[in-house]
């Protein structure tokens, strides 16, 4: 399992793995929005958490369709499926998701504070946004695995994955953004939305890999 | 070219199921299903028209709300549409279980046929809701919990429809759609309880409550009759759509056979 994690991590970080593309896309999205809404610093600092979350959501959806497709092309997906009598397939999927998250989403989370400074966000809001991103983005990857597994046999599945996953990712977005806003605005408490976000990640950590494993098996026969 | 389960059983005749499994698996034979549903559909259609006519008459005869005036009559179609949009996903989830667990050959047909109907009901619920919202709330749309979660349901219907039509192999498309449907079923309780969990503009549940309905009987009865009418309409449409899909697959299978024969003749 650790080997699988390291292998996927290496593949992800290497050139063509898509990790860099994700972070470039994130930068592009976040830097485009100030051009669209204008350089008003007060407005930007108010929109900041939302922009970071939208950027992270889109960037993490971007690379998802490659989660299983590359493995399918070189045949290692078949090996994973064959090894499923030794390891639970859902567990392998979970490990793959974690590796994918480390390689292509964790850099976004690390880059988020830097971009937040550019957006004139307060330090507290910055910390909260980064923390919610750190907790919330795995949920998108986990549930995205289901979409990626369903669309693995399709030649142009990328867009379909996003369409299928976006509705399920919306709760994550809602609670992530509301938790980051709650840290700045006074009456709203930070903890409840944040705990719901944690719960969402945990639920998706089970639902995502299990259903993705079922979808991969179904696509096999 | 791989054929779907439905066409393969229909071309070989009766499925090889052991005797006494029950009527549910007996329906797995599309020919038997077509014969039975052919008798049920006209009855359902007549019943749904009848109940809807009675319901419409009653809902126009129902008293006007003391605050909302005549716009309250939108409720008699809006609420059934919203219930049905969720019930349809429930039916699809059952069908998804049928595909994945029992491998019932008609379950995937049922899922595929139900999705567009559910999409229309969800769209109608959103549309009537926003027409009702304009005079009452002063706005067409707010991003409150229930509206947003029903809108998410609308998007999920679109996703399922896109998915079932993106994969040409029918049995593979069925399994993929079934998995996404079951994952999407998480949204149903969220919609139902969204008005209780969050303080929102949309009013809380008035009919299905633990302490009984809070709506006056003079309005409750027309509403329930309309709901029954639209449910009957849903099943009429659903059965018709299943029949159409079965016929469509048979035609496809026949076309394939014809094409294969024509190819053999030219060679």
Residue B88: band (very low, low, confident or very high) from pLDDT cuts 50, 70, 90: very high
Range of the domain at B44: 40-206+217-266
Distance CA A85, CA A72 (A): 19
**3-state SS assignment for residue A122:** coil
What integer best gives the mean pLDDT of chain B?
A: 80
Q: Are residues B186 and A168, on separate chains, in Cβ contact within 8 Å?
A: yes
Instruction: Confirm whether B28 is domain-assigned.
Output: no
Instruction: Report domain extents, chain A.
Output: 2-220
Cα distance between residue A117 and residue B98, in whole Å: 52
ipTM of the predicted assembly exceeds 0.85: no
- Model confidence at B123: pLDDT above 90: yes
- At A89-125, the pLDDT tens digits run 888 888 888 888 888 888 888 888 888 887 777 788 8
**What pLDDT sits at residue A17?**
56
Which of A10-14, A139-143, B146-150 reaches the highest mean pLDDT? A139-143
Which of B88-102, B133-147, B176-190 is predicted least confidently? Answer: B133-147
Residue ranges of B 58-117 with Cβ closer than 8 A to chain A: 100
* Residue from B111, B93, B196, B105 nearest B149 by CA: B196
Closest among B162, B178, B163 to B108, alpha carbons compared: B178
Higher confidence at residue B160 or residue B30?
Answer: B160
Separation of alpha carbons B75 and B135, rounded Å: 13
With an 8 Å Cβ cutoff, are A218 and B176 in contact? Answer: yes
Higher pLDDT pick, A139 / B188: A139
Q: Is pLDDT larger for residue B140 or for residue B15?
A: B140
Kindly report, residue by residue over A58-95, the tens digit of the pLDDT. 888 877 877 787 777 777 777 777 777 777 788 888 88
Between B174 and A84, residue with greater pLDDT: B174
Interval B227-250: pLDDT, tens: 899 999 999 999 999 999 888 888
Given a cut of 60, whether residue A38 has pLDDT beyond it is yes
CB contacts of A219 in chain B (<8 Å) are 172, 175-176
Confidence of residue B13 (pLDDT cuts 50, 70, 90): very low
Q: What is the rounded average pLDDT of the residues B80-87?
A: 90
* Residue A87 dihedral angles phi and psi, to the nearest 5°: -115, 145
Q: At what angle do helices B5-12 and B30-61 cross, to 10 degrees?
A: 120
Judged by DSSP in three states, B69 sits in strand
Higher pLDDT, B179 or A10: B179
Q: What's the domain count of chain B? A: 1
Q: What is the pLDDT of residue B1?
A: 36
Residue B131, classified by CB atoms within 10 Å of its CB into exposed (0-12), middle (13-18) or buried (19+), is middle
The 3-state secondary structure of chain A, one letter per residue: CHHHHHHHHHHHHCCCCCHHHHHHHHHHHHHHHHHHHCCCHHHHHHHHHHHHHHHHHHHHHHCCCHHHHHHHHHCHHHHHHHHHHCCCHHHHHHHHHHHHHHHHHHHHHHHHHHHHHHCCCCHHHHHHHHHHHHHHHHHHHHHHHHHHHHCCCCCCCHHHHHHHHHHHHHHHHHHHHHHHHHCCCCCCCCHHHHHHHHHHHHHHHHHHHHHHHHHHHHHHC
Whether chain A has a CB inside 8 Å of the CB on B156: the answer is yes
For chain A, report the end-to-end CA distance as a whole number of angstroms: 25
Q: Tell me whether residue B20 is in a domain.
A: no
Which pLDDT score is estimated for B234? 92
Q: From CA B190, how far away is CA B148, in angstroms rounded? A: 10
Average the pLDDT over A39-51 and give the result: 79
In a domain, B56, yes or no: yes
Q: What is the tens place of the pLDDT at every residue in B127-165?
A: 988 888 888 777 787 777 778 888 888 988 998 888 888
Which residues does chain A have within 8 Å of residue B158's beta carbon, measured at their own beta carbons? 163
**Which residue in B236, B10, B232 sits closest to B106, CA to CA?**
B10
Residue B200 has a pLDDT of 60
Quick one: DSSP state of residue A119? T
Cβ atoms B179, A214 nearer than 8 A? yes
pLDDT category of residue B211 using cuts at 50, 70 and 90:
low
CA distance A51 to A36: 12
Percentage of residues in chain A having pLDDT higher than 70 = 93
Which pLDDT belongs to residue B2? 41
Is the minimum CB–CB distance between B201 and chain A shorter than 8 Å? no
pLDDT band at residue B120 using 50, 70 and 90 as cut-offs: very high
List helix spans (H) across chain B.
Answer: 5-12, 23-26, 30-61, 75-97, 107-137, 145-166, 170-184, 187-197, 217-266
Q: Is residue B24 part of a domain?
A: no
Contact assignment for A207 to B159 by CB distance below 8 Å: no
Residue A153 to residue B182, Cβ atoms within 8 A:
no
Whether residue B123 lies within 8 A of chain A, CB to CB, comes out as: no
Nearest to B180 by CA among A141, A160, A94, A198: A160
Question: What is the percent of chain B with per-residue pLDDT over 70, rounded to a whole number?
Answer: 81
φ, ψ of residue B66 to 5 degrees: the values are -70, -20
Predicted structure pTM score: 0.78
Residue of chain B nearest A193, judged by CA positions:
B198
Residue A17's closest CA among A52, A91, A67, A82? A67
- What average pLDDT does this structure show over A136-161? 82
Report CB contact under 8 Å: A215, B156: no
**What are the angstrom distances between the C-alpha of A86 and each of A81, A83, A99, B143, B265?**
10, 6, 20, 47, 51
Query: Is B146 part of any domain?
Result: yes
């Amino acid at each position: 399992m650790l080997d699988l994690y390291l292998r996927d991590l290496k593949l992800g970080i290497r050139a063509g793995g898509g990790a860099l593309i994700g972070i470039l896309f994130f930068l592009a999205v976040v830097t485009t929005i100030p051009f669209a809404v204008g350089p008003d610093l007060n407005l930007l600092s108010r929109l900041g958490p939302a922009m970071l979350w939208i950027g992270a959501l889109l960037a993490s959806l971007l690379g998802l369709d490659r989660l299983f497709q590359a493995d399918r092309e070189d045949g290692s997906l078949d090996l994973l499926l064959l090894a499923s009598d030794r390891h639970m397939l859902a567990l392998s999927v979970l490990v793959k998701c974690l590796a994918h998250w480390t390689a292509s989403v964790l850099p976004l989370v690390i880059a988020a504070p830097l971009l937040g400074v550019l957006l004139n966000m307060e330090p507290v809001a910055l910390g909260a946004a980064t923390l919610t991103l750190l907790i919330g983005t795995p949920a998108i990857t986990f549930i995205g695995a289901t979409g990626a597994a369903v669309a693995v046999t399709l030649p142009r599945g990328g867009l379909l994955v996003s369409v299928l996953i976006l509705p399920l990712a919306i709760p994550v977005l809602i609670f992530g953004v509301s938790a980051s806003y709650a840290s700045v605005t006074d009456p709203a408490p930070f903890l409840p939305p944040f705990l719901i976000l944690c719960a969402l990640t945990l639920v998706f950590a089970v639902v995502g890999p299990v259903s993705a494993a079922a979808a991969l098996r179904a696509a096999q026969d | 070219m791989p054929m779907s389960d439905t066409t393969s059983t229909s071309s070989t005749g009766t499925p090889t199921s052991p005797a006494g499994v029950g009527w549910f698996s007996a329906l797995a034979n599309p020919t038997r299903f077509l014969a039975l549903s052919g008798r049920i559909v006209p009855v359902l259609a007549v019943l749904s028209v009848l109940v809807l006519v009675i319901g419409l008459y009653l809902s126009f005869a129902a008293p006007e709300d003391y605050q909302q005036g005549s716009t309250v009559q939108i409720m008699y179609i809006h609420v059934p549409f919203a219930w049905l949009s969720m019930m349809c996903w429930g039916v699809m989830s059952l069908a998804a279980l049928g595909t994945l667990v029992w491998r019932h050959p008609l379950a995937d047909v049922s899922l595929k046929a139900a999705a567009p109907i559910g999409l229309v009901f969800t769209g109608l619920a959103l549309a009537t809701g926003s027409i009702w919202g304009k005079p009452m709330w002063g706005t067409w749309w707010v991003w409150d919990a229930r509206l947003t979660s029903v809108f998410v349901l609308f998007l999920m219907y679109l996703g399922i429809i896109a998915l079932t039509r993106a994969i040409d192999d029918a049995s593979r498309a069925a399994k993929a759609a079934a998995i996404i449907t079951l994952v999407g079923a998480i949204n149903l309780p969220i919609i139902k309880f969204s008005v209780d969990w969050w303080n929102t503009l949309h009013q809380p549940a008035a009919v299905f409550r633990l302490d009984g309905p809070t709506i006056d009987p003079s309005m409750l009865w027309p509403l329930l009759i309309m709901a029954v009418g639209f449910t009957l309409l849903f099943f009429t449409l659903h059965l018709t759509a299943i029949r159409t899909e079965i016929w469509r697959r048979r035609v496809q299978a026949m076309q394939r056979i014809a094409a294969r024969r024509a190819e053999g003749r030219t060679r």
